[in-house]
Structure 1
Amino acid sequence: MGLFSRLFGKSEPKPEPVIEPVEYKGCLIYQNSISESGQYRIAGQITKEIDGELKTHRFIRSDVLSSKDDADELMLKKSQMLIDQMGDSIFN
């Protein structure tokens, strides 16, 4: 059956990559760039537990870069800047 699957395009789904968060000022930052036309769009989420409830702020930026690593690094920097400027109000 494996031969027929390869011939007719049926392949096993690829597992989702595990994203390790980066901790910053009590928040967890998940870098999750989106592949688009050979480039990577800056995207991810910031989470924090507030009053026993897990709050999440997700975002996708208009910035695109040629490298996934560069996009993830810029996402981290932008997330840290957002946390510094807005604090917990980003979760409202």
Structure 2
Amino acid sequence: MVFGKIFGGLFGGGGDKKSAASPALASVEYKGFRITPKPQPNGPQWQVAGTISKDGEPGEPPREHQFIRADVMVTVEDAAEFSIRKARQIIDEQGERIFS
């Protein structure tokens, strides 16, 4: 049992510091869309992911597009920043079509 804790700590197992869902990160507005970075833990790194949303017509729910990229970063902050950049690129290239 003691060895499991020691070796688990040395080799990245046993703890749950990165096995939890990504931390809540602030959304940003871009061209009428709301971008929420949602990096996902991927081993010792963070995978680029997020949500692009836009309010619907009155009485309708907001429209949402989730994306996940193969790109991984060392820190959650770097992954969040890159997620925002990728979302802006998606919006610039596809605009409203991302919801169809």
C-alpha RMSD of the superposition: 1.7
Length-normalised TM-score, structure 1: 0.76
Cα distance in 2 for partners of 1:88, 1:50 equals 11
1:80 aligns with 2:88: yes
Q: Following TM superposition, by how much is the alpha carbon of 1:35 offset from its aligned partner in structure 2, in angstroms?
A: 1.0
Residue by residue over 1:32-72, the C-alpha shift from the partner in whole angstroms, topping out at 9 and shown as x without a partner, is 10111110000110000133331000011111111111111
Structure with greater proportional strand content: 1
In 2, Cα distance between equivalents of 1:56 and 1:66: 27
- In structure 1, stretches of 5+ residues that fail to align are 1-13
Query: Which residue identity lines up with residue 82 of structure 2 in the other structure?
Result: L
How many residues of Structure 1 are paired with residues of Structure 2 in the alignment? 78
Please tell me whether residue 64 in structure 1 is matched to residue 72 in structure 2. Answer: yes
Structure 2 regions of 5+ residues with no counterpart?
Answer: 1-19
The answer to whether structure 1 residue 51 and structure 2 residue 57 are counterparts is yes
Q: C-alpha distance in 2, partners of 1:89/1:36?
A: 29
Residue 22 of structure 1, aligned match among 28, 41, 45: 28
AA aligned to 2:73 is L
Instruction: Letter of the 1:56 partner, please give it.
Output: E
Q: Percent identity?
A: 36
Match status 1:89 vs 2:94: no
* Deviation, structure 1 residue 90: 0.4
**Runs of at least 4 residues of structure 1 off by over 6 A?**
none
